[in-house]
A and B are shown apart, each in its own frame.
Chain A
Amino acid sequence: MSKSLEYELAEMIIDFCNVEDVAPEDVSPETALIGPDSPFGLDSLDAVEVVVAVQKTYGVRIGGEKTSREALQSLRTLAEFIEQEKEEGHLDA
């Protein structure tokens, strides 16, 4: 994976959620972010941590109707969500 937004997000999640023994380059952008298949080992309690980390780092709020579940499916969906929100100017003050 190049230094893409997905890569940055993987780094951010590893940092914020204290994930051990996982390197950003080992994680496929398509794999599940949360749940038993998560390479980060994240569960529902970590979802809030990721939501807050995204808001602090990128100024993008996750939390409207259905956006949280959709955005947190994988690194790819999260990156797409952030890019779309930025494009539409939905940045948190």
Chain B
Amino acid sequence: MKIDFPHRQFAHCESGVTANLLNYHGFPCSEALVFGIGGGLFFGHVPFFKINFLPLTTFRVGPGGIFSKATKRLGIEVVKEKFRDPVAAEKKLDHLLQSGRPVGAQTGVFWLPFFPPAYRFHFNGHNLVVIGKEGDDYLISDPIFEETVRCPSEDLRKARFAKGALAPKGKIYYIEKMPEHFDLPSAVIAGIREVCRGMLKTPVPLAGVRGIRLLARRMTRWPDKLGEKKTLLYLGHVIRMQEEIGTGGGGFRFLYAAFLQEAAGILENDRLLELSEHCTQIGDLWRDFALLASRVCKKRVTIEDSFEELAQLLNRCADEEEILFNALATEIK
């Protein structure tokens, strides 16, 4: 049994899954639009919260946030469930598929056999859509891949119940009911407002532009405090989170620029086109940072020659983002 599900490949798993599900349910949309309405853009640096022994640095909101907020803002009714028992979780999934419903699932990457071995790392925040079952194989629309893929049920079970940070606990989610009408402008404004708040008005200095400046300050101390080996590990982790293969090295800023371009049309506000341009330029700055950082990691330049410049680039990103999001907040007042 296979649901006739229009699979599209995207840059990022959760916004891709959300866009594909909305498209299936009759709301054609781009990944950028979903990302923006879901308030996907963010920055956070939490030195004391470690993933794989490395401090958390993120360029987008946490797992599940984009789907939850995008659907809520569009007035779509969704169901989300977690399970303790893998057998019950599989039964429920099979039941939903039998009833013809594509089902989103959070999984660990490590257990998914269709990922090339080199990319199977311990990350539990991956999202995909299960669109059918044939024999003992599930049929899967994973937006990271060009085509739909197959996954043996035992492997999907392990991926759905992977242990560790962000453990998915069998989490599934699906669309229960679409609204008769969408208030797209309001959804777009709500998404922009949330991102502006997250980047400018956070109560703790770990997030938003303050978080970027915190990372810049701490980074200059890494070589002395951590030594070369650990410094390079920390730095490599930051740029892997920023690049996430597919976003072009701009830490989701290019994707957000594409959203602002669409938002300009939806809100009939040409000023957003200028701000989209600015967002692209900020993506370029982030990419300059990633480029220099990757050269440091590859030992093409030395730590001593580069860390001041890396910190300066981060501070420039923070300054420019402060200007951008203040301007954006003014536009949607």
> Residues of A at under 8 Å CB distance from B?
18, 34-36, 44-49, 51-52, 61-70
Contact = CB atoms under 8 A, between A and B. Distances in A.
B32 A44 contact: no
Nearest to A45: B294
A50 to B, nearest CB: 10
A52 B255 contact: no
Contacts of A52: 249, 287-288, 291
Nearest to A68: B248
Given A35-B118, A63-B247, A63-B250, 8 more contacts: A44-B245, A45-B236, A45-B298, A46-B298, A64-B255, A65-B10, A68-B247, A69-B9
Nearest to B292: A48
**Smallest CB-CB A-B distances: 8 pairs:** A63-B248, A48-B249, A69-B246, A45-B294, A63-B254, A68-B248, A36-B118, A48-B290
A49 B255 contact: no
B31 interface: yes
Given A44-B245, A45-B236, A66 B11 contact: yes
A72 to B, nearest CB: 8
A61 B249 CA distance: 11
A48 B11 contact: no
Interface size class of B (residues with CB under 8 A): 35 or more
Tell me the interface secondary structure of chain B in the complex.
helix
A45 B300 CA distance: 12
Interface string B231-266: 000001001100101111110001100100000000
B283 interface: yes
B297 interface: yes
Contacts of B295: 49
A45 B239 contact: yes
B179 interface: no
Interface in B87-130: 116-119
Nearest to B248: A63
B30 interface: yes
25 contacts: A18-B300, A35-B118, A36-B117, A45-B239, A45-B243, A47-B245, A47-B249, A48-B249, A48-B290, A48-B291, A51-B249, A51-B287, A52-B291, A63-B250, A63-B283, A64-B248, A66-B11, A66-B246, A67-B248, A68-B246, A68-B248, A69-B11, A69-B246, A70-B9, A70-B146
Nearest to A48: B249
A46 B294 contact: yes
Contacts of B290: 48
Given A49-B291, A49-B294, A64-B258, A44 B248 contact: no
Contacts of A47: 243, 245, 249
A68 B11 contact: yes
Contacts of B31: 65-66
Contacts of B298: 18, 45-46
Contacts of A63: 247-250, 254, 283, 287
